[in-house]
Structure 1
Amino acid sequence: MHTSAAVEGYLTHLADVRRLAPATVRAYRSDLLDLLETLGDPPLDDIEVDDLREWQWRAAQAGRSKATAARRTSTLRGFFAWAGERGLVAADPSQRLVSPKRGRTLPTVATADALDEVLAASAAQAVNGDALALRDHALLELLYGSGARVSEVCSLDLDDIDHDRRTLRLHGKGDKERVVPFGLPAERAVQAYLVRGRPALVARGGGDDGDGGGSAGPSRAEGPSRTAGRSSARGDNVSSPARAVFLGAKGARLGPRAVHALVSRTVGPSVGADALGPHALRHSAATHLLDGGADLRAVQEILGHASLGTTQIYTHVSSERLREAYRLAHPRA
């Protein structure tokens, strides 16, 4: 079997059998297509470890990071393990690859005071009742208040919000569902948007959206949210705005790119970052929960992490803050 045919079979397996998130499948596809571009399309069983090392070397020469190199190595190992299980290769050349150690970097976190200022400014813009300003304020409050991923918030439907209990039903990676709480400020902002903002956006129709995600000016276009398997798992069309909570300027379901632009524009200046994504609010929520005394496992559940080790990085953020506070305040530091 030629490698290209095996790649397509593996990607179908990831999407249909393992039910990985579309974004994850796209990352695997990108890696494997890059491999094909380097090697051509040889028979799969002809690929040797030196071919794979050549692919790694070219990526290193192109300036790819250690994290990217480690991910690409993981992609190869998953691909060849799948091929071996199906008898497509006699030996697995990827097992002799050395995966570079990833450098652990601390996530970007905004201070609670900085976010208070951002949210206060957002609330002030929403006072005039502008639909996009109401939506943007609700988005920022909900992202920070729940610690949800941007894809999870973009995929929210109206019946995913329990206003009485102030909880969200989120559909995360691997189509895993969890329920997380959010606070009173977020509830007020969401209610204001649903009552005064969303109906105005619904009335604008269902075309492709190109607003910049807010009242502060134009930015990147909004596209339909592509979330992890919801359409297949729940039997609905995730792009349909009929049940979507967050809509764009022309009434279509809001996409992650517009939310990225919103956070970059509003939160970025407070942490000195030119390009800051919505994940910064998730990082901030997790760090502030731990700073406030929340249990690590509770934070793990809120964030939807499969491994406690993933959540533990936020304890390092808090430790860094503790050391900095000591350095600045203690006379013998």
Structure 2
Amino acid sequence: MTGVADAVAQYLDHVRAERGLAANTVAAYRRDLARYTGFLADRGVTDLDDVTPVDVTEFVRHLSATQARSSVARQVVSVRTLHRFAAAEGLAPGNPAVDVSPPKLTQRLPKALTVDEVTRMLDAPDRDDVVGLRDAALLELLYGTGARVSEVCGLDVDEVSTALADRDAGLLLRGKGGKERMVPLGSYAATAVEAYLVRARPALAAAAARHDPALLLNQRGRRLSRQSAWAVLQQAARAAGLTVEVSPHSLRHSFATHLLDGGADLRAVQELLGHASVATTQIYTLVTIEHLREVHAAAHPRAR
């Protein structure tokens, strides 16, 4: 018989070494399965063979009483993949979680800004100021490439210099799980980055004792963090007079929505965003359809 804790350890080794999942993803699996192992132990279940569908169902019910649906759904997926792995590896005679489904999530449409709102945000930083030049480069890269905040903060000077030298080659981004993709570097983003590199980055870099290869630096001369980048977004939104909520993904959502509004192919947008499945990208089509409904309702004489 295999203990639940032993099976979890083997599964985590599997997803880390053989499937090559990112460290943050593996850490999330570890937390979820530690909670599951503890729940089973409280029920007196420590061996994998003794886990029943009732145990799994009760775990889901236990989570649902105190946690959001999205959190419950993620943990159910962790439990299902653990048991599927255990059954496939012969660690257990069957899969007690096979018929247990995660709760259905309410579909939340991504919040996209209008083109005017984005423009006001991009114009907000003071481009006569060192920090303002950096903030402008950050914002232009986020909207111009559709990159995640973490992807832009993870860029090094050498990578961007290569893209600036050969604009046709594009900019290399490293996404979730270390997956790489090339995206076009538009003229506005290129101009903002070049201005930052020439007029601002040397001054920021001088504050650090050691050279940091990062493109975007904070005022201590170190790599700009995701949290600081989020603060830049919020500051720009306030300066632009925006009353809508702005999140770290706001410019990425706007990038995708504006492309589709302009007639871009869904598959092309999928590649630009780095989505593994086109189904993830399709949510943006719902945003554009909602926009069309609003336009229709406001403009058509028989729409009301």
**TM-score under structure 2 normalisation?**
0.89
Preserved CA contact (<8 Å) 1:201 1:249? yes
4+ residue runs over 3 A deviation = none
Question: Which residue of 2 is the match for residue 317 of structure 1?
Answer: 287
Alignment deviations for residues 160-193 of structure 1 (CA, whole Å, 9 cap, x no partner):
2211316210112232211001321111111111
Question: Which residue of 1 is the match for residue 167 of structure 2?
Answer: 165
Q: How far 1:206 sits from its partner (Å)? A: 6.0
SS of residue in 2 equivalent to 1:267:
helix
* Counterpart-to-counterpart distance in 1, 2:36 and 2:173: 35
- Write the mapping of 1:1-333 to structure 2, written as runs, cut at 5 A: 1-40=2-41, 42-65=46-69, 67-122=70-125, 125-127=126-128, 129-130=129-130, 132-161=131-160, 162-163=163-164, 164-165=166-167, 167-205=170-208, 242-267=212-237, 270=242, 272-273=244-245, 276-333=246-303
* Counterpart-to-counterpart distance in 2, 1:150 and 1:314: 19
The runs of 5 or more residues in structure 1 that have no matched partner are 208-240
Alignment deviations for residues 128-172 of structure 1 (CA, whole Å, 9 cap, x no partner):
x32x22211111110111001122112212232211316210112
Question: Which residue of 2 is the match for residue 211 of structure 1?
Answer: none
For 1:117, the aligned partner's letter is R
Task: Say how many residue pairs are matched.
Answer: 293
Q: How far 1:83 sits from its partner (Å)? A: 1.7
* Counterpart-to-counterpart distance in 2, 1:254 and 1:78: 36
Preserved CA contact (<8 Å) 2:148 2:249? yes
Preserved CA contact (<8 Å) 2:36 2:79? no
Q: How far 1:55 sits from its partner (Å)? A: 1.5
Preserved CA contact (<8 Å) 2:212 2:221? no
For 2:24, the aligned partner's letter is A
* Counterpart-to-counterpart distance in 2, 1:2 and 1:197: 57
Preserved CA contact (<8 Å) 1:151 1:256? yes
Q: How far 1:281 sits from its partner (Å)? A: 1.0
Rate the CA distance shift 1:71–1:64 in 2: closer, same or farther, 3 A. Answer: same
Rate the CA distance shift 1:146–1:121 in 2: closer, same or farther, 3 A. Answer: same
- What percent identity do the matched residue pairs reach? 45
* Counterpart-to-counterpart distance in 2, 1:272 and 1:140: 17
**TM-score under structure 1 normalisation?**
0.82
* Counterpart-to-counterpart distance in 1, 2:100 and 2:52: 11
Q: How far 1:24 sits from its partner (Å)? A: 1.9
Between structure 1 and structure 2, the one with the greater Rg is: 2
Q: How far 1:271 sits from its partner (Å)? A: 5.2
Preserved CA contact (<8 Å) 1:206 1:250? no
Alignment deviations for residues 253-310 of structure 1 (CA, whole Å, 9 cap, x no partner):
222222223223433762522xx32212111000001111111111111111111111
Q: How far 1:97 sits from its partner (Å)? A: 0.8
The runs of 5 or more residues in structure 2 that have no matched partner are none
Rate the CA distance shift 1:44–1:265 in 2: closer, same or farther, 3 A. Answer: farther
Higher mean C-alpha deviation, range 38-47 or range 184-193: 38-47
Preserved CA contact (<8 Å) 1:152 1:172? yes
Question: Which residue of 2 is the match for residue 237 of structure 1?
Answer: none
Rate the CA distance shift 1:149–1:83 in 2: closer, same or farther, 3 A. Answer: same
* Counterpart-to-counterpart distance in 2, 1:270 and 1:39: 49
* Counterpart-to-counterpart distance in 1, 2:49 and 2:295: 57
Tell me how large the CA RMSD over aligned residues is: 2.0
SS of residue in 2 equivalent to 1:121:
coil
* Counterpart-to-counterpart distance in 2, 1:177 and 1:74: 26
Rate the CA distance shift 1:3–1:260 in 2: closer, same or farther, 3 A. Answer: farther
